[in-house]
Structure 1
C-alpha cells in the first residue's frame, strides 16, 4: 500500500524568475514520490519569504499534518520549508512529534543513525540560513548606498509624499498642508492628542483613511529631518534628493 505524502513548494518573490521555481520544484518532488512509491495527497504552495512561518500554505500543511492526512512531507530543498535554521529545526521536530517525516529531494540523508541524520540535516539547514543572511545583507547594502546619495531606500513613502513615475519621491499636494499644520501646532506647544483633534476637525485622515491619533502624529514629528529635505538611514545622514515640505 502506498504511503500518503504532501509536497510543499515555496519561492520568494525574487526567486520566481530563477531556475528553482515552483514548476521545477514540483517536477522534482513528483519524480521522488514516483520512485519511492509515495502517493501525493496534497500540494501546498507559497510565494513568500521562507524567513517567516506566517505563510498560508505552510500553516495549512501543519494543520493537515496534525490531522494525520499524510505521513511524509517532500520538499525540493530544506530551505523551501524554511530558510531560518531555528524555524526549520523546530518545524521538523514538531512534525516528527505527530508522526510526519520531512524529506529533501536535493539533500537526501543516508542510512545512518538518527543522530547522524539530524547533524547532516542541520548542516544543510545552516546553508539556508547563510543564504537568508546574505540576501538580507545585500538588501541592507543597497539601502545604505541609496542613503549615502540621499535617495529614499524604499518601502512606503512617509506621509506627505508619493512616488513619481520615475520612482522618485515628490510631495503629495493633498497632504502638504497637513504636514505643515502638524509642525505649526507642535511649535505652539500643542500636545500630540490636541494636534490629532485639530487634524480630525479639519476632516483630514491618515494614509489608511482613519482618524488621526497621537501615535500617527508622533511618527510625523519624528520625520522632521526628512520633511526638511534631508535623509537619514541608520547613522548616515545626507541631503535628500526629494523636495522639502518644511522650510
Structure 2
C-alpha cells in the first residue's frame, strides 16, 4: 500500500498584548500545544510538524508587518511548508482584506491553511467553499469602502474643499491644518497671471 505524501505543517501563534508573556506557560504556548495536538491527530493523513516556532507576542493582528509572520511566509514561499496551522483565524489576521492577500499568496505556492478551533481547512472542499464566501465578503467590503471614499471626495469638492495632494500653482494649503482650504500664494499667483497674459497676447490676432 502506497504511503500518503507528507504534509509539512508549521504553527503560527500571536497575542495582541505582551501581558503574561513572561510566564513559564503563556498564551502563545497554549496556542502552540493545541495546534501541535491537532497536527498529531492528523498523522494518519500524513501531517508532520516541522521544527521551529513562529510566535508574535505583543503584536496587533491589524497589520501583516510582524517578524514571525514574515519568517513564516518566507518559508512558505521557499516551498518548505505545506500547511499553516493556527489556533483561530484572527491569530493570523483580523483584517478580511489582509486575509484575502495571504490566501492568494498561499494558493500561488500550493500551501493550505487550517484553524484548529473553527473547523476551517482550505485543503478540503468545504473549507475552500467557506474561504470563497469569506473572500467574496472581503471583495464586497473593499468595493463599498471605495464607493464611500469616492462619494465623500465628490461631495467635498462640490463644497469647494481641498482634498489634499499637491496644490495647484498659485495656491498653498491653509496654515490651519483643520481647514481643508487653499490660500493664494502671492508670488506664484503673480507668475501665473503673467503667463496667462503672455499666452493671451500670443493667441490674439493683434499680437500676431
Give TM-score scaled by structure 1 length.
Answer: 0.46
Residues 183 and 95 of structure 1: CA distance in aligned 2, closer, same or farther (over 3 Å): farther
Separation in 2 of the partners of 1:47 and 1:170?
38
Partner of 1:102: 113
Say yes or no: does 1:93 pair with 2:107.
yes
Unaligned runs of 5+ in 1: 10-21, 191-247
Partner of 1:155: 164
Separation in 2 of the partners of 1:29 and 1:182?
62
Residues 150 and 134 of structure 1: CA distance in aligned 2, closer, same or farther (over 3 Å): same
Instruction: Number of aligned residue pairs: give it.
Output: 164
Partner of 2:206: none
Q: 1:113: Cα distance to partner?
A: 6.9
Is the Cα contact below 8 Å between 1:29 and 1:105 reproduced in 2? Answer: no
Q: 1:83: Cα distance to partner?
A: 1.3
Is the Cα contact below 8 Å between 2:106 and 2:112 reproduced in 1? Answer: yes
Say which of 134, 142, 146 aligns to 1:132. 142
Is the Cα contact below 8 Å between 2:85 and 2:114 reproduced in 1? Answer: yes
Indicate the structure (1 or 2) with the bigger Cα radius of gyration.
Answer: 2
Q: 1:122: Cα distance to partner?
A: 1.0
| Mapping of residues 14-163 of structure 1, within 5 Å | 22-23=16-17, 32-37=31-36, 40-43=53-56, 62-67=73-78, 71-72=83-84, 74=86, 75-76=89-90, 80=94, 83=97, 87=101, 89-96=103-110, 100-104=111-115, 108-109=119-120, 114-152=124-162, 154-159=163-168, 160-163=171-174
* Secondary structure class of the residue paired with 1:144: helix
Q: 1:93: Cα distance to partner?
A: 0.5
* Secondary structure class of the residue paired with 2:120: coil
Unaligned runs of 5+ in 2: 1-7, 18-25, 37-48, 201-208
Separation in 2 of the partners of 1:46 and 1:121?
23
Separation in 2 of the partners of 1:95 and 1:122?
18
What do the CA deviations read for 1:167-188 (whole angstroms, capped 9, x no partner)?
Answer: 2224264xx4224414532552
Cα RMSD of the aligned pairs, angstroms, is 4.6
